[in-house]
C-alpha cells in the first residue's frame, strides 16, 4: 500500500502526531507554534486528545494547525468541510 493511501486512512489526529513526531517536536513545541501562528495556545492535554482521536481539532486552532502541518482544514475537520460542501451545492 502506498504511503499516500496510508495517510488518507489515518484519523486527522494521527496525521498531526505523525507530523509532529517527524518534525522532532514535543506537544509543548507544537502548542507554541500554534500560538505563534496567531491562535490561542492549546493545552498539552488538548493536543494529546486530538492526536489520539478522542477530540476533534477545535475551530479555534484549526487554521494555525493547518498552516503548521500543511494538512488542509478539510482533512483536519472533514465534518465541517462536509457542511460547507452541502451548503455550496444547495446554493
Spell out, as residue ranges, where the chain has pLDDT lower than 50: 1-7
Contact yes or no for 65/28 (Cβ under 8 A): no
C-beta neighbour count of 12 within 10 angstroms = 20
Given this model, what pLDDT does residue 87 score? 60
Q: Which of 34, 41, 39 is nearest to 20 (CA)?
A: 34
Given this model, what pLDDT does residue 83 score? 79
Whole-model pTM: value is 0.80
Amino acid at each position: 500500500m502506498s504511503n499516500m493511501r496510508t495517510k488518507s486512512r489515518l484519523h486527522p489526529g494521527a496525521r498531526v502526531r505523525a507530523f509532529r513526531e517527524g518534525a522532532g517536536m514535543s506537544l509543548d513545541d507544537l502548542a507554541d507554534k500554534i500560538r505563534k501562528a496567531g491562535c490561542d495556545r492549546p493545552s498539552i492535554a488538548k493536543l494529546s486528545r486530538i492526536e489520539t482521536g478522542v477530540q476533534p481539532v477545535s475551530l479555534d486552532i484549526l487554521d494555525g494547525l493547518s498552516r503548521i502541518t500543511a494538512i488542509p482544514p478539510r482533512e483536519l475537520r472533514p465534518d465541517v468541510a462536509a457542511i460547507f460542501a452541502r451548503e455550496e451545492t444547495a446554493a
